[in-house]
A and B are shown apart, each in its own frame.
Chain A
Amino acid sequence: MSFISLMGALEIGLIFALVALGVLISFRILNFPDLTADGSFPLGGAVAATLISGGHDPWLSCAIAAVAGAMSGWVTAWLNVRLNILQLLASILVMIALYSINLRIMGAPNVPLLGEATVFTPFIGEGGDSAYWIQPMVLVAVVIAVKLGLDAFFASQSGLALRATGANPRMARAQGISTNRYTLAGMALSNALIALGGALYVQTQGGADISMGVGTIVIGLAAVIIGETLIPSRNLWIITLATVLGAILYRLFIALALTADFIGLQAQDLNLITAVLVGFALVLPMLKAKLRRASGAK
């Protein structure tokens, strides 16, 4: 694998790390199965791309994209909390609606950003040849900031209330926590992160395309599960770290699968190879434990 390929995997991995952190909040912390990601990821991208190509400041565009994502997460939670629609169904409804909303926002199915000023432009300077490693470095800073922010939040009073809402809603309510309010807030936070990922994604990819959301939730879940399988812990700051690493590892596997043509595999086998590699990674801890037990029993 070339260094550029590695940096490319790192770049996309870091963006999906933001998505994975959002999925972590909804699926694991709030215990709310949420498919809105397939709609809020492109929502973030659509808002950011439309604003940036309209000449607005890229950082502001990312912030507005995150707010848009927060609103979509809030709607999903509202459908569940106020209208009593099943969580999964509520998120599917919002995801479907967002397809049309995103098309409206973009005005076309594809909004190119080639040649526009992005959040990375001030760091890249002339030539643009160094973009392939500068972009990941900027993203590392962003992801570290987000992760530390989340860790601090989840250790605070409201953060703990959020965790209680997901862990044991009845007990939380008995303690006087408004689980409805925290569900709404938690879902908003989750989808804000996912939309932020989408906003950064379109700036690295050169444009927003309406199909960019397909499969986002799968990638997010895969990242969370890979992370918690490889680095199991009950400590939240390790869990968030594991999620970030899981996302990067997943994209690394894909990059690796792209180089598999040397053993006779072809382009169409890409998804199969990725699945095999990821499956192997998930089974590895179990194998390690078996080997350890076998050698310890002697």
Chain B
Amino acid sequence: MNTVSRRLVLNTLAAGVLAAMTSFAQAQDMKLVSVTAIVDHPALDSARKGIEDELKALGFEAGKTMKYQYQSAQGNPATAGQIAKKFVGDKSDVIVAIATPSAQAAAASTKTIPVVFTAVTDPVAAKLAKDWKPSGTNITGVSDKLTLASQVDLILKVKPNAKNVGMVYSPGEVNSVSVAKELKAELQKRGLQLVEAAAPRTVDVAPAAKSLIGKVDVIYTSTDNNVVSTYESLVRVASDAKIPLVAADTDSVKRGASAALGMNYYDMGRQTGRIVARILKGEAPGSIAPQLGDKVSLTVNPEAAKKQGNPLPDALLKEAKEVIK
């Protein structure tokens, strides 16, 4: 046999073995839950842990009573698209998509397989849902949208005579942009001003915060993936310049914000897990209305507040559900 045909045979054999190995026949009676996130980051990872724990508590354990797979798109939307296609091709019973780009990719890849989104702030603007009623489509999920009126209340409780509120956010994240717009309107209603500082990449967060020094009385940040992933750099700037920080999620308070009235992403994950379980048990995703994260709690960090030159009032400490030591 000459080298050309031998090589051809070897290549075909190799391809065949690879194909066989990648299509390991698995038991058909176990449901397949496929989870994807756009990027790995502490809040999104806790959401995923919440989903896994809730499913386990409700009787769906990965490897034992359910098949489970997780793929991260590593921050790349094109990869998110390929992951969505893979999940559809694997005949998943439910696809869970964490964060907007992954959810949109999943929604574009299938109209029949149930898609449950989570950590998506505005599903209506992202065209994942027409409105907040049961959609009748294959998509439902949990949103982490916060009511801004209570956020402004918290800002005023932390810094009672604030006149100017600064906000560091990424103009590349649709959730942050819509929060900034709404916050500006809400603040103006109460006679305050919003000073924005754009940070398109994580390295821009500290310089953006520094640009607010001397211009603002307090800095507020939303659930902006960019800012949250480098929250410590923001904390350093705030402690040096003595500006109090108010965040929108409880994990950031542990990392150095004075206070936050927000959702715990782990709890949001568990709420999502409950929806997934309902769908696995036979409910149609179109009959489940998209939900808002139902656990909003106040977390405070008195130590961080002191470092930022603004000790918290006792009334706020008493109101808090969790006080970070």
- Give residues in A with beta carbon < 8 Å to B: 1-9, 11-12, 16, 99, 103, 108-110, 112-115, 127-129, 132, 201, 204-207, 209-212, 214-215, 219, 251, 254-256, 258-259, 261-262, 267-268, 270-271, 288, 291-292, 295
B111 at the interface (CB under 8 A from A): yes
Which residues of B in the span 79-94 have a Cβ within 8 Å of any Cβ on A?
79, 81-86, 88-91
Residues of B close to A259: CB separation below 8 A: 22, 86
Complex Cα–Cα for A113 and B172 (A): 17
Distance between Cα atoms of A1 and B79 in the complex (Å): 15
Q: In whole angstroms, how far apart are the Cα atoms of A115 and B72 in the complex?
A: 25
In the complex the two chains form, what is the Cα distance from A255 to B3 in whole Å? 30
CA distance A103 to B76 in the complex (A): 18
Measured CA separation A205–B295 after assembly (Å) = 32
Which of B90, B127, B170 has its CB near the most chain A CB atoms (within 10 A)? B127
Q: Of the candidates A6, A206, A212, which one forms a contact with B108 in the assembled complex, judged by CB atoms under 8 Å apart?
A: A206
Write the residues of chain B forming the contact surface with A, with a CB cutoff of 8 angstroms.
Answer: 3, 7, 18-19, 21-24, 40, 69-72, 74-79, 81-86, 88-91, 100-101, 104-105, 107-109, 111-112, 125-128, 170-174, 177-178, 200
Tell which of B19, B89, B101 touches A4, judged by Cβ atoms closer than 8 Å.
B89
- Classify the secondary structure of B's interface with A: helix
Minimum CB–CB distance from B92 to chain A (whole Å) comes to 11
Within the complex, the shortest CB–CB distance from B11 to chain A, in Å, comes to: 10
Residues on A with beta carbons closer than 8 Å to the beta carbon of B81: 8, 12, 204-205
Using A4-B88, A110-B126 as known contacts, say yes or no to A267 and B72 having CB atoms under 8 A apart.
yes
Which of B82, B83, B200 lies at the interface centre, i.e. has the most chain A CB atoms within 10 A of its CB?
A: B82
With contact pairs A211-B101, A262-B21 given, residues A204 and B86 touching in the complex (Cβ less than 8 Å): no
Residue from B77, B101, B109, B111 having most chain A Cβ neighbours under 10 A: B77
Residues of the B chain whose Cβ atoms lie less than 8 Å from the Cβ of A262: 21-22, 24
A262 to B178, CA, bound (A): 41
Distance in Å: Cβ of B105 to nearest Cβ of chain A: 6
Contacts of B86 in A (CB 8 A): 1-2, 4-5, 8, 255, 258-259
Shortest CB distance B91–A (Å)? 8
- Decide if B82 touches A207 in the complex (CB within 8 Å): no
Contact B108 A267 (CB under 8 A): no
Identify the interface centre among B23, B86, B90, B200: most chain A CB within 10 Å of its CB: B86
Cβ contacts under 8 Å, B7 to chain A: 288
Can you list 18 A-B contacts (CB < 8 A)? A8-B84, A12-B78, A109-B173, A110-B101, A112-B104, A113-B127, A201-B78, A205-B77, A205-B105, A207-B108, A211-B172, A214-B76, A258-B71, A258-B83, A259-B22, A267-B40, A270-B74, A292-B3
Shortest Cβ distance from residue B303 to the other chain A in the assembled complex, whole angstroms: 33
| CA A288 to CA B107, docked complex, whole Å | 43
Chain A residues positioned under 8 Å from B69 (CB to CB) = 261
* Residues of chain A contacted by B83 (CB below 8 angstroms): 258
Given A2-B89, A5-B90, A206-B108: 4 more A-B contacts, CB < 8 Å: A1-B86, A8-B82, A9-B85, A209-B77
Q: How many angstroms between the C-alpha atoms of A132 and B109 in the bound complex?
A: 8
CB pair B173–A5 under 8 Å, yes or no, is no
What 10 pairs between A and B have smallest CB-CB spacing? A8-B85, A2-B89, A206-B108, A4-B89, A112-B127, A110-B174, A5-B89, A114-B127, A210-B172, A5-B86
A207 touches B127 (CB 8 A): yes
CB distance from B135 to the nearest CB of A (A): 12
Closest residue of chain A to B40 (Cβ to Cβ) is A268
Distance in angstroms between the alpha carbons of A42 and B21 in the assembled complex: 37
Instruction: Specify the chain B residue showing the minimal Cβ separation from A8.
Output: B85
Out of B82, B101, B127, B170, which one reaches A9, CB within 8 Å?
Answer: B82
CB contacts (< 8 Å) of A205 on chain B: these are 77-78, 81, 104-105, 108
| B85 CB contacts on chain A under 8 angstroms | 4-5, 7-9, 11, 132
Docked complex Cα distance between A201 and B88 (Å): 19
Residues of B within 8 A of A212 (CB): 77-78
| Distance A129 CA – B172 CA, assembled complex (angstroms) | 32
| B107 close to A114 (CB less than 8 A) | yes
Given A114-B108, A115-B127, A295-B3, are A2 and B72 neighbors across the interface (CB < 8 Å)?
Answer: no
Q: Is the CB of B104 within 8 A of A114?
A: yes
When distances are taken between beta carbons in the complex, the residues of chain B under 8 Å from A132 are 85, 88, 109
User: Who on chain B is nearest to A3 by CB?
Assistant: B89
Give which listed residue, A1, A6, A7, A271, contacts B74 with CB less than 8 A. A271
- Considering only CB atoms, which chain B residue lies closest to A116 in the complex? B127
Give chain A residues whose Cβ lies under 8 Å from the Cβ of B89: 1-6, 8
CB proximity of A75 to chain B, nearest CB, Å: 21
CB distance from B78 to the nearest CB of A (A): 6
A270 — which chain B residues lie within 8 A by C-beta? 71-72, 74, 79
A256 to B88, CA, bound (A): 15
Min CB gap B214→A, angstroms: 26
Whether A254 contacts B104 in the complex (CB less than 8 A), given A4-B88, A132-B109, comes out as no
With a CB–CB cut-off of 8 A, which chain A residues contact B77?
205, 209, 211-212
Complex interface: chain A residues within 8 A of B104 (CB): 110, 112, 114, 205-207, 209
Given A3-B89, A99-B200, A114-B128, the answer on whether A129 and B79 have CB atoms closer than 8 Å is no
Which residues does chain B contribute within 8 Å of A251, judged by CB atoms?
A: 82
Shortest Cβ distance from residue B35 to the other chain A in the assembled complex, whole angstroms: 9
Report the nearest A residue to B37, measured CB to CB. Answer: A267
A267 contacts across to B, CB distance below 8 A? 40, 70-72
User: Is B72 touching A206 in the complex (CB atoms < 8 A)?
Assistant: no
Q: Chain B residues with Cβ under 8 A from A219's Cβ? A: 78
- Structural contact, A109 and B171, CB atoms closer than 8 A: yes
